[in-house]
Amino acid sequence: MDEVKRTPLYELHKKLGAKFVSFAGYSMPVQYTDGVLKEHLHTREYAGFFDVSHMGQITVWPQKGKEQDLIKCLEYLMPCDLVSLPVNRQSYSVLTNAQGGVIDDIMIANRGTHYHIVANASQKNADFEHLKKHISDTGDVCLLQGKSLLAIQGPLTESILSKVCPETTKMKFLDHYQTKIFSFPCLISRSGYTGEDGFEISVDDKDVASLSQKLFENTHLKPIGLGARDSLRMEAGLCLYGNDLNEKITPPEASLSWSIHKSRRTKSSSRSEFLGSETILDQLNKGTDYIRVGLFPSGKAPMRQGAEIYADSSGDRKIGVITSGGFSPTLSRPISISRILRTSAEQHNEIFVKVRGDLLPAKITNLPFIPSKYKKTYRGTHEIY
Amino acid sequence: MKYTEEHEWLRLEGDVVTVGITQHASEQLGDLVFVELPSDGQEISKDQEIVVIESVKAASDILAPLDGVITAVNNLIVEEPSLVNSDPMGEGWFFKMKLKNPSDFDGLLDKEDYEKLTQ
């Protein structure tokens, strides 16, 4: 078995009272001394600090004179709009396979000279190989070593970061800048995976502990483990790769149709050809058999990943499965995300989920469970990006 | 007071024991959000899964520590599972049971043995 890896902040986590869990080959903090519930609520009310250095950071550089060819190659792998993605801007996207399934969901930023991608920890090596294989003649792909990634999330994030990096007040959702915090070179994006306003900071491994310690001088900022990271993203209705999204689930099935940019949908255009486009564009037109919806369990028992969903209490007709589920600290009740037959979701408001052998009722609801609070406008203006 | 290897504590009063989980177990489990208890009067046998508890992270089963009959359950923790975290050895008790063989109690771990187990 491979050795379990640690991030450069392992010792700091230990000092902060972390309990560790093995995740995607890394020993990561699942919670600190406050526990998942308090950490979750602290992030929603103040600000949370997440070490997400296990995630992959990949750069893609065009070979000389091949800038436009590289964009074509990259767009063949992901259905976002790279042609008009401005420098210093970032986009959510998915790496699709030939069947329209999802190899990974990623963030890709235009750095001017190159693209910077943030990938899921479990998929980063696969993404790297996939990118290398498909763009070998036009660009150079690099899976970055020696880079850490921090996420600072929550309503007080801007006030905390602006004290040490004034430029952050000028950033809006999905802006992506190279700057310095204290004296440390950082790549900052206004993004995250909690539904809150927040930032992600890419910083050299050698600087990450010093940067983190300085950030913790602000007592509103607390370390948050993977446990609360999961409940936060679930409330925000966001997909966890491996749970709600995988190589057999297409973006429209995962209710991610919005991630197929409209410029990539016109069938006459060459830009509408991407891996899996035949299936995906067809699904956009005709709809999918399965959709991703939220569930509110009627009782107190959480309905977790893998639990089967039935049309009625007889348990005769299986109509789907829970892909993520647990307890919502904000709503103080269980919530689940499910993959369910569209026709059944349209016919039934109440469905039944098998929990420890019993069929328990749950109600279908829209995602997200908690509205997101992204900073989509510049401060003091009403401009919507 | 006696303990089991499954991190339960048992307090004997007459021939009835009160059962809960230890401080150590409640810390390991994390914040509890769901508790399902057996029914009053239910006959149970040792190692039967009789309580379901779920933390924010995962579901676990609590096994019957000995043979007997349930004589009371603590519905307060069904309403407020966090009581198990805040006061596991007191208000966060799970159920009371009448032992089939009261002498079984003596075979359980005493405090010292249990503490060794958790170190």
pLDDT in tens, A241-299: 999 999 999 999 999 999 999 999 988 888 999 999 999 999 999 999 999 999 999 99
| Assigned fold of A257-365 | Elongation Factor Tu (Ef-tu); domain 3 (2.40.30)
Q: Chain A interface residues facing chain B, Cβ-Cβ under 8 Å?
A: 30-31, 35-38, 227, 231, 300-302, 304, 326-327, 329, 334, 356
Tens-place pLDDT, residues A31-52: 999 999 999 999 999 999 999 9
The chain A residue lying nearest B57, using CA atoms, is A227
Q: Is the model's pLDDT at B3 over the cut of 80?
A: yes
Average pLDDT for A142-159 = 98
Banded pLDDT at A384 (limits 50, 70, 90): very low
Best of B24, B28, B29, B31 to disrupt the A interface (most A CBs within 10 Å) is B31
Mean pLDDT of the A115-143 span: 96
pLDDT category at B111 given cuts 50, 70, 90 is very high
The number of residues in chain A equals 385
Question: Closest Cα of chain A to B31: distance in Å?
Answer: 7
Other Cβ atoms within 10 Å of A341 Cβ, number: 19
Optimal mutation site among B29, B33, B34, interface A, most CBs of chain A within 10 A: B33
Asked whether residue A82 carries a pLDDT value surpassing 50, the answer given is yes
What pLDDT, on the 0 to 100 scale, is given for residue B57?
Answer: 84
Closest residue of chain A to B78, computed from CA coordinates: A300
3-state secondary structure of A382: coil
Which two three-digit tokens encode residue B49?
Answer: 């899964």
**Helix A226-235 vs helix A36-45: angle between axes, to the nearest 10 degrees?**
60
- pLDDT of A378 reads 53
At residue B58, the pLDDT reads 86
Measured between CA atoms, how close is A303 to chain B, in angstroms?
10
For residue B114, the distance in angstroms to the closest alpha carbon of chain A comes to 22
**What pLDDT does residue A267 have?**
80
For A324-348, what is each residue's pLDDT tens digit? 999 999 999 999 999 999 999 999 9
Q: Which two tokens stand for residue B33?
A: 């959000």
Residues of A in contact with B59 (CB under 8 A): 302, 304
- Check whether A379 has a pLDDT greater than 70: no
Alpha-carbon gap: B24 to the closest alpha carbon of chain A (Å): 14
Nearest-Cα residue of chain A relative to residue B26: A35
Using the structure block, give the residue that is written with the tokens 């046998």.
B45
Residue B11 CA from chain centroid, whole number: 10
Residue of A nearest to B34 (CA): A301
Chain A contact for B49 (CB, 8 A cutoff): no
What are the contacts of A122-128 at 24+ separation with CB within 8 A?
A: A122/A24, A122/A25, A122/A241, A122/A242, A123/A56, A123/A241, A124/A55, A124/A56, A124/A58, A125/A56, A127/A56, A127/A58, A127/A95, A127/A103, A128/A56, A128/A58
Q: Is the peptide bond before A368 cis (omega within 30 degrees of 0)?
A: yes
CA dist., res. A340 & res. A293, Å (int): 7
Q: What is the structure's pLDDT at A269?
A: 86
What's the pLDDT tens digit per position in B65-97? 999 999 999 999 999 999 999 999 999 999 999
Residue A238 has pLDDT above 50, yes or no: yes
d(CA A68, CA A63): 10
**CA angle A271–A291–A362, rounded 5-degree value:** 160
Q: What is the pLDDT of residues A181-198, one digit of tens each?
A: 999 999 999 999 999 999
Domains of chain B with CATH codes: 2-101 (2.40.50.100)
How far is Cα of residue A336 from the mean position of the Cα atoms in its chain?
17
pLDDT of residue B76: 97
Average pLDDT over residues B52-62: 92
Give the percent of chain A with pLDDT over 70: 97
The more confident residue out of A138 and B14 is A138
Which of the listed CATH numbers 3.30.1360.120, 3.30.450.20, 3.40.50.300, 3.40.980.10 matches domain A10-55+146-235?
3.30.1360.120
Alpha carbon of residue A76 to chain centroid? 21
User: For B34-60, what is the mean pLDDT?
Assistant: 94
Instruction: Write the ipTM.
Output: 0.88
Tokens for B118, please give them: 């958790």
What mean pLDDT, rounded, does chain A reach? 95
Q: What's the confidence (pLDDT) of residue A381?
A: 39
Contacts of B36 in chain A (CB under 8 A): 301
CA proximity to A149, closest of A223, A224, A55, A222: A55
Record: contact B33-A35, CB cut-off 8 A = no
Domain boundaries, chain A: 10-55+146-235, 59-141, 257-365
**Residue showing tokens 């966001």:** A238
pLDDT at A382: 38
Q: How many CB atoms lie within 10 A of CB B112?
A: 9
| Two structure tokens written together for A329 | 């600290």
Task: Indicate whether A354 pLDDT > 80.
Answer: yes
What percentage of chain A has pLDDT greater than the value 90? 94
Q: Is B1 on the interface with A (CB under 8 A)?
A: no
**CB contact B48 to A (< 8 Å):** no
CB contact under 8 A, A37 and B36: no
The CATH classification number of A59-141 equals 3.30.70.1400
Tell me how far apart the terminal alpha carbons of chain B are, to the nearest angstrom. 19
pLDDT at A2 over 90: no
Position A1 scores a pLDDT of: 54
